[in-house]
Structure formats: C-alpha cells, structure tokens
Structure 1
C-alpha cells in the first residue's frame, strides 16, 4: 500500500513538473520582426515627414522603445544576413545584392534556427534575398513556413516567375510556398501580411517567430490605385527641402517616385495595422516582442531627415534607419534610446529575451540591447561600426567607413590616399555630415583608419567569403533546380543582358540530367548550345528559333566549380536567363 502511494506521488510530482515546464515554456515571448525594403528614415510621419500617412506605425512608435541611432548596411542582402546572424555580412559570404554575392553560407546560424532550439514555430513572409537554392533557402535555414519571392525583388531578373509580368509583377504573383511555386491573387504586400497574420493565428498557443519582410517600397514602384490617389497631387519636394543636405533638387521623376513610395508605405502601414489588431484580438500582445525596422536608406531622392546619402551610401542617409521595439510585459513604451545600435544586435538581443542559446562557436559582432532596454549603463558608448558598399568586395578606400562613438571616418578616395583625403565627421555636432574636420584632427583620423584597416583585413579573410557557398545541384532536397540570374556571376553588373559572360558556382552530384536553358529572347537557329562543367563540355546543335533549348540525359561528373552555359551563333555568345537542371539517375 505504501509502495502504491509512493508511486502515485511520483506520478503526480512528475505531472506537476511537466506542467511547470510547459508553463515556463509558455513564458517565452513570441517574436514578430517586421522589415521593409528601401524605406528610408524619412518615410514615416514620426520621423518628421508631414506628407506621408503612417498613423499605425506612428502610434506603434509611441508605444515602443525607439532606438534613434540604429544602423544597418547600405544595401539589402548584407543587412539581411547581418540581421539573421548577428555577424557582419562578409563573414556569412554575403558581399553583394546579386552577381552571385547574395548567397548566405549554410553553416550560418539564423535567428530562426536559434529560436527553434527553444521550441519556436518559425515563418517568413516576403523577401529573403540570402539564397534561392538548396541549402540556403529559408526552409533550409530554420523556417518551418516560408512564403517568399526570389532574389532581391519581385519583377527583377532573379525572380523569374514575376520578371516577365512587367508593370504587373506586384499583382497576382506566382510566389514560392515552402519551395514550391504557387499562384496568389492580390497585391504582394497584402498577400505577405495576410499570410503572416494567418501564421500568427495558427501558432498562438506556442511560441512563434514571424519574420514579415515586405519587398515594398522597393522598385518597381507598383501600388494599388486607391493608395496612389492619396498622393497624386502632393509636391514631395516640400518635405525634401526640410534640412536638405544636398545641392541637387528633386526632378519631376523624383517627385513621382516619391508619391508612389509614399503610397506603398501607407499600404504597408494598413497591413501592419491588421497584424497588430490580430495580435490584440488573440490576447497575446503583452507577451509578444514586435520589432519594426527598415533595411537601408531610400533608393530615390526624397526626404530623409536632412541626412546625407541614399541607399548604397555609407553616409547616414544610407545606413541610419528607424527601429522600434514593443514588448509591453517587459518594457515601458514611449522611450528614446540614443546609444548607437545596429542590425547585428538583434540576434543576441532576442537570444536573451527569449532565453535561448546564441551561437557560441563563432564570432558574434553584435551586442545584446537588453541592458539599454533595462535602463542600465553600458560600457560601449564608443563602440565601432564598420560600413562599406561595393559591387564585388570592399574597395580600399571607396565608400567605406568606420564609426566610433561620435566620430566617423569615411573613405571616398584611392587605395593609396593620404589621411587628409578622407572625411572625418563629428556626427553628434554635425549629424548631416557636412563639415569635414580631418585636417585639424589628423591624429584621431589616423587611429580610426588603423582600426578600419584591421576590421577590413579580418573580414575579407572570412572563410565563407574566401570560399563562397556553392549551389548544390542534384540533391533530393531540390530536384529539379533552377539557377537564376541573381546568383550568376561573371562580368560585373550581369543582369538581363544577352551577350554577357556568366556562370554559376555549383557543387554537382554525379549522374544524368535533363537540362533546360531559358533565354530572355528567342535565339536564332543553326547555333550551338554549350555547357561547361569543369573539364566536361557538353554541346549540341540547335535547329530552331526558340527561347528554350533542352539537353536530355546529360552525364555530369562530380564537380565543384563553375557551371558555364552559353549559346554560340555567328560569333555571339548568348547567356541563358535561367537554367533548370533535373537529376534523372
């Protein structure tokens, strides 16, 4: 009898412990990370633009902790790789937005992978831009649910399902749901937001990570007419002239672009309103971390709060963005933090807030923002941030910068320039970076340059940069596979050209393949199709004018290197728009 009572007690205690563990697990906050594409610091009402209508985000910012000196990379893919990993993009293998430089190494640990360790359900909706093939797709990198477009933007060459739609590419698109093409109805931002809301509702009973990554207001600037009508009669140059730090005036095209961007942002604002309403209705707002940020400065000339530079620039207009964090059960809202912070800080911050382990086997460049959020003093007021942008690798010393504390050294000069040729700015006293103080502060500039050089040499020696991740061909995880133009390298600036040298860096599993070569326009008959894979060159004559050429049952060896396809006709070498490869045995 005593034994039975003890057994019963053990069962009860075990059940209570299991319940307690489950209850403790439920304390992990949900995470919703919202990022927009090419929305600059000035594209919000709360940041001083009185022409744009963003009532939802303005109110959300008032309820949030606002990090007012938050920085990202000058362009899309580098920002996203740093956001996902807490590391400078060059460490991850991401160096570009295309040209084969926007593929993140599969050995990187993403926020999604980190949170899955803590039992989170993970979903991405919108733009990924860190690899479109195995093993770099969202579903390969920790996301349970994935609804994305390809490459850097809808309507761009890499997103071949929308590219040929032209000025309708944002409407009724073919997207990629968990790696498979699927047709959707509606406007892209609405589709991504609606599916994010559905994901949140489906996972409300467990911790979830929702990454809502709008592709708007990136080009092509397409928006439902109902939103455009809100701005068709405004003059965006009025807002632009506020604290304008450039001598250039807005052209008529700039003004029209701004109207479309503002319309796209207002649509985003409405969609975020739907998401916030759903979070409130579900009763999970108190224990949900919601972050809003953007990925870089504006691509087009418009109001940016007076800062110098646009997208692609290492000046503040290119790299300073809004960042709002709301977590009601932990932090009081309507608070400003002026300490320098950056995209690399998000992963370590979420690791602490969600009580999961951050990667410990690699260098994490970011810092947890938790001490700042808890009003604790931190010892990194003089932290350094490194910025660069070039089409291939960082260039000495062009469009490169090191910011440390209130000072920023900017290189827009030659590899062998003297220190006097650099720009040095006190961004506290001169936030628009107009007054170059390098000549009267050369010792300080020299010290900053030494640190810039050290960071530069460390980053360009990164393993994932020196040995970039190949696209894996012939793996069961993705068969057939389509190689798109965004991931093609070769000539600089390879895009949608016909006569251009291009290639894809791949790792091929040995076997026999059916291969399709799609061209931008039909190629003429009586040419030859070539496929170079290492030392094996397969070729065949084409007898018809066509935009698709097929090679059947091509035997390919195990190979890691360049896959080089081209069509030869009357001395022309025409590069395919995309290549589909299916391993058949």
Structure 2
C-alpha cells in the first residue's frame, strides 16, 4: 500500500509538472497613453526605463504593432481578437465603452483550459453586471471604474481631485475597498499577490496600468528625477519631425516620464517575483501600450498622437518573452495588431478559439518561432476614431502591406481628398502620393468601404448593451457618467440630457441620486422610465443627494432618464444608486 501511494504521488507530481510545462503562464502588461517614444529603447534620451529596456532586449520585438487610436476600442480588440465595433465598443464614454457580454475574452478562453485569471488596473469595458471583469472570465479583479481614475465616471476617486491616484477606493471583485499608496504600486502589489497564490497552476495575469493617463499625478520622488530636464532637447534630428512643445507640454512630459519610471520599477518588481517563484522560464510576458501619447512630445518622428489614425496614434511598442520556448532578442517587422493577440495566445496555450463568430485577428505564433507567415503581407488593418460612431470619412484609415490610405474628408469627398502613404519608404507619413497612385488608392478605398459596411452592421453595435438592475449578481447598482448615453460628450455638465440604457427586474427600489453640486430649493426630482414617470417635490434640498424610496419598477428594457427640475433648469445627476429592496 505504501509503495502504491508513493507511486501515485510521483505520478501526480509528474502530471502537475507536465501541465505546468505544457501550458505557459501568461502575464499581459498594458499601460495607458504611453506612446511609442516613451521608452529608452525606442530612442528617448530622457525617460529612465531600465527594466522595460532590458525586457525589450530579451524579448521578441514586434516593431510594426498597431492598436486603436483610443483606449476602450484597443482593450476590446485585445480581449476578443475582434474589431471593437463588432464587440459593441464604439467610444470611450457616452455609453459606448460597454463590451457585449456575449463576447469571449482571453480570460474566458484560458479558463476553459484550466487557467486562473486576474485583472489589476484598468478595465474600461463596462462597470455594471453583466459587463464587469468578473462577468467576463476573471476570477479576481481589482479595478477602477470608467476610463480613468479622477474622471467623473470613477466616482470613488473623482472628488479627490489632485490626489485621486493616491490612497484610492477601488473595486475588488465588485465591492468597494480602500487602499493605501499610489495606484500603480497598489495594482502591482495585488498582482504580485495573485502570482504567489496561483504559482502552482497555469494563470493569466492582466496588469493594466491606468498611468500615465491624465490626471498626471505621481509620487514626488519620481518627479524629482525629471523636474529640471527639457523634454524637447537632446534629440538627434536625422530627418525625424518633432512636435512643437510649449511650457505646459514640457511640464506634462516631465510628469509622464516620472509616471513611466514608476511603472518601470513596478514591472521590475513583478519580473523579480517570477524569478523568485522559479516560474519565469514558463511564463509568457507581454508588454504593450494602448495608443499614442495624449500630449505633444517625442514619438520617434511619427505623425499624430492619441485619437489619430496616423502612426503616432496607433503604433505602439510590443515585447514578448517566453524564455523556455522562444528565442528572444529578435525583431519581427510584419504588420501585426491587437486583434492578433487572442488567436496567438490560443495557439501557444492550446486553447480553443470561439468558433461561432468572426475572429478578425490571426495567430503570429509561426513568426515567433522564426517561420515565415505570408498571410500578414497583404492583410489589411482598419483604423478609425470619432465620437459615438464612425464618420465617413473622418479620421479613418486602411493599412495594407506597405501602403496606407487615410481619410480626413467628407462622406462624398473625391479620392484626391484622401491621403495615400508608403509607410515603408515614408514612415513619418509626410508625402501624400495619392495623385500618382490613383488605381491603388481606389482599390484601398473600395476595401475600406467593405470593412466599414461590415463592421457598422454588427449586431452588438446596433443593439443597446443594457446594464441589468436588480439581479442577485449586483445589488445595489451604481450607474456612472462614463456609461451614460444622451448628448454628446457627457462629462461633468449639470444641465445636460442624459440617460442609462438598462434592463430593470421587477421589484421595489430605493434610488439615490448624487449631484455634482448642492441642489436648489423648490425643485422636483423626476425619473422617467418608458411609460412610468416617478416624481417627488422638494421645498428644501440642503445637500447634493436625493433618495427616492420604495419605487416600483416592472421588468423592462428602458432608457432611464433622471433629472432634477427647478425653474428654468434640468440637472442631470453624477451617478445613481439603485438598490432592490423587495422582489415582485
């Protein structure tokens, strides 16, 4: 019996070791608004990033890697392998940063084959059930709300103003929890804890820093490193265009570089932990950023920045390291993109790709192994960015092979109004060759039109993604400004028309409305819900909050429209808390 037990234990140990070796751990690190030029390894003499520079030297470097011009679209494509419009993500706010719950994420895909999954940092793909990380495959989540800390949608940090990145109230597995320290340090601390807890089994760690996104807040010791530099000086001209920088731009760059150095230190702590746990060789580490820089600064000569379809807005660094399997310190020049990450991880981790939907990306595992992959040579990549929905043909591009067609024109513009660039010969996109290559431009525009027609007919885009109110999965529900639809650009305005697209479950609710400023006296709180309008009068309102109690709501899909009405004014709340107190 003892011999049998020893043999069984040996078998289980060998099986466990095989499983560990068979499927690598995955650590995906992404930063927010860190441009291609915000690293030492990409030619910036000012920013101090020794850890990331070394990681880049040890890694396979994807030198022509592209993302969307802004963050939520990039993150939805990264998570699903699909263009963001297919997922329902069309904006960074205004209700357009909610990814359809039917999407299959990297986390869900890897969970199917036994991975433990965790996200730490920025999600930005829906803050309510059924769109939260925990609803989309993550076993553990520690996130801030909306697109950034200190933004009105992230109401637990919004009122902290200039200190919103310090000692934040975050959301751990859907519940508010207070933390001490600087946000990037907090997210890294918790990510390291996740590594320690899951070291014995395959894991997927998504460390999604919100830095160096605005507001530009950083610990003083990091700012001290950069307070005296001139971010516009010290660059070798060598024909590279360089953006004009005023004094505010320079000060912003100093703060960004300080935030990036903090990230560099935190990535160093994470990589050190992988070494200490003796799992580095079997851990695939990816480092990337989500779009170009928000402010003018060095971006390796490329044209444009965040929000723009020129390369400065969509080309980002991408390092991939898997020491036990892939030879590092080499460059890949194929045009690759965020949509390719999921299918690549599926192949490396032996996980099934969803077969019931179109996956726009392709696996580049063969390229990582040193093989050729001709399918990437003429594969088109599509880019766009305008508020709410794509505008024909404003800030829109198709990149295929060496050529890129860019539209910054009206819907019926002539072909000559577009720009055509040979990005291999003209990497800074300065020479428009559309007039001398009309046939090529026509072909690319025809292909662009086909892509636009396909993506804009996506069901997830044209059917509202509705938060569910009153379920056992989330009660109470907080509806925030980031996910509010209505007028364009809802942010911190008081007198603005807004709504939340929700599905209410039948029951009675206590509903609390929080406003940015104290309310005026002699007003009326109104909640419009399809054919049911609930209202209460108030002679005095000494605070910035109102609570309606015991409100009955049937089960319905509805545009929830709250507003406080006084003479001549209609004021939209900053957020709404809906707590179900009884069932049907």
TM-score under structure 2 length normalisation: 0.97
Choose 376-385 or 574-583, whichever is displaced more: 376-385
Q: Residues 497, 243 of structure 1: CA spacing in aligned structure 2 closer, same or farther, 3 A cutoff?
A: farther
Please say if residues 510 and 581 of structure 2, whose CA atoms lie closer than 8 Å, have aligned partners that are also in contact.
yes
Residue among 559, 569, 573 paired with 1:572: 569
Tell me, yes or no, if structure 1 residue 514 matches structure 2 residue 544: no
| Structure 2 equivalent of residue 541 of structure 1 | 537
Please say if residues 34 and 290 of structure 1, whose CA atoms lie closer than 8 Å, have aligned partners that are also in contact.
yes
Encode CA deviations 1:242-268: one digit per residue, 9 max, x unaligned. 468668520100000000000000000
Q: Residues 247, 372 of structure 1: CA spacing in aligned structure 2 closer, same or farther, 3 A cutoff?
A: closer
SS in 1 for 2:544: strand
Q: How far does residue 24 in structure 1 lie from its aligned partner after superposition?
A: 3.2
**Matched residues in 2 for 1:332 and 1:136: separation?**
38
SS in 2 for 1:520: coil
Residue among 142, 149, 158 paired with 1:163: 158
Q: How far does residue 61 in structure 1 lie from its aligned partner after superposition?
A: 0.4
| Structure 1 equivalent of residue 522 of structure 2 | 526
Q: Let me know the Cα RMSD of the aligned residues.
A: 1.7
Please say if residues 241 and 428 of structure 2, whose CA atoms lie closer than 8 Å, have aligned partners that are also in contact.
no
SS in 2 for 1:321: coil
| Structure 2 equivalent of residue 312 of structure 1 | 307
**Matched residues in 2 for 1:244 and 1:44: separation?**
20
Residue among 332, 335, 354 paired with 1:337: 332
Residue among 379, 393, 418 paired with 1:422: 418
Tell me, yes or no, if structure 1 residue 358 matches structure 2 residue 353: yes
| Structure 1 equivalent of residue 366 of structure 2 | 371
Residue among 291, 294, 311 paired with 2:289: 294
**Matched residues in 2 for 1:328 and 1:193: separation?**
22
Q: How far does residue 21 in structure 1 lie from its aligned partner after superposition?
A: 4.8
| Structure 2 equivalent of residue 24 of structure 1 | 18
Residue among 574, 578, 582 paired with 2:579: 582
Please say if residues 242 and 298 of structure 2, whose CA atoms lie closer than 8 Å, have aligned partners that are also in contact.
no
Q: How far does residue 430 in structure 1 lie from its aligned partner after superposition?
A: 0.2
| Structure 1 equivalent of residue 394 of structure 2 | 398
**Matched residues in 2 for 1:442 and 1:30: separation?**
48
Please say if residues 243 and 297 of structure 2, whose CA atoms lie closer than 8 Å, have aligned partners that are also in contact.
no
Residue among 249, 252, 266 paired with 1:254: 249
| Structure 1 equivalent of residue 480 of structure 2 | 484
Q: How far does residue 349 in structure 1 lie from its aligned partner after superposition?
A: 0.7
SS in 2 for 1:359: coil
Residue among 178, 181, 184 paired with 1:183: 178
Encode CA deviations 1:451-495: one digit per residue, 9 max, x unaligned. 000000100000100103101111110000000000001000110
Tell me, yes or no, if structure 1 residue 278 matches structure 2 residue 267: no
Residue among 209, 219, 225 paired with 1:224: 219
| Structure 1 equivalent of residue 449 of structure 2 | 453
| Count of aligned pairs between the two proteins | 578
Q: How far does residue 510 in structure 1 lie from its aligned partner after superposition?
A: 1.2
**Matched residues in 2 for 1:423 and 1:333: separation?**
37
SS in 1 for 2:280: coil
| Structure 1 equivalent of residue 319 of structure 2 | 324
Q: How far does residue 332 in structure 1 lie from its aligned partner after superposition?
A: 1.1
**Matched residues in 1 for 2:242 and 2:253: separation?**
18
Q: How does 1:66-145 map to 2 (within 5 A)?
A: 66-145=61-140
Choose 118-127 or 242-251, whichever is displaced more: 242-251
**Matched residues in 2 for 1:90 and 1:543: separation?**
46
**Matched residues in 2 for 1:246 and 1:144: separation?**
46
**Matched residues in 2 for 1:241 and 1:394: separation?**
38
SS in 2 for 1:522: coil
Unaligned runs of 5+ in 1: none
Q: Residues 95, 83 of structure 1: CA spacing in aligned structure 2 closer, same or farther, 3 A cutoff?
A: same
Q: Residues 310, 554 of structure 1: CA spacing in aligned structure 2 closer, same or farther, 3 A cutoff?
A: same
Unaligned runs of 5+ in 2: none
Please say if residues 64 and 333 of structure 2, whose CA atoms lie closer than 8 Å, have aligned partners that are also in contact.
yes
Q: How far does residue 504 in structure 1 lie from its aligned partner after superposition?
A: 0.5
TM-score under structure 1 length normalisation: 0.97
SS in 1 for 2:217: coil
Encode CA deviations 1:478-518: one digit per residue, 9 max, x unaligned. 00000000000100011010000000000111111100000
Choose 133-142 or 538-547, whichever is displaced more: 538-547
Please say if residues 40 and 321 of structure 1, whose CA atoms lie closer than 8 Å, have aligned partners that are also in contact.
yes
Choose 235-244 or 409-418, whichever is displaced more: 235-244
Please say if residues 240 and 300 of structure 2, whose CA atoms lie closer than 8 Å, have aligned partners that are also in contact.
no
Q: Residues 147, 449 of structure 1: CA spacing in aligned structure 2 closer, same or farther, 3 A cutoff?
A: same
Encode CA deviations 1:544-570: one digit per residue, 9 max, x unaligned. 232000100001121112000001101
**Matched residues in 2 for 1:244 and 1:260: separation?**
27
**Matched residues in 2 for 1:347 and 1:243: separation?**
37
Choose 350-359 or 299-308, whichever is displaced more: 350-359
**Matched residues in 2 for 1:328 and 1:139: separation?**
31
**Matched residues in 1 for 2:235 and 2:124: separation?**
30
Q: How far does residue 18 in structure 1 lie from its aligned partner after superposition?
A: 6.1
Q: How far does residue 19 in structure 1 lie from its aligned partner after superposition?
A: 6.0
SS in 1 for 2:547: strand
**Matched residues in 1 for 2:472 and 2:569: separation?**
36
Please say if residues 242 and 301 of structure 2, whose CA atoms lie closer than 8 Å, have aligned partners that are also in contact.
no
| Structure 1 equivalent of residue 466 of structure 2 | 470
Tell me, yes or no, if structure 1 residue 51 matches structure 2 residue 43: no
SS in 1 for 2:281: coil
Tell me, yes or no, if structure 1 residue 433 matches structure 2 residue 413: no
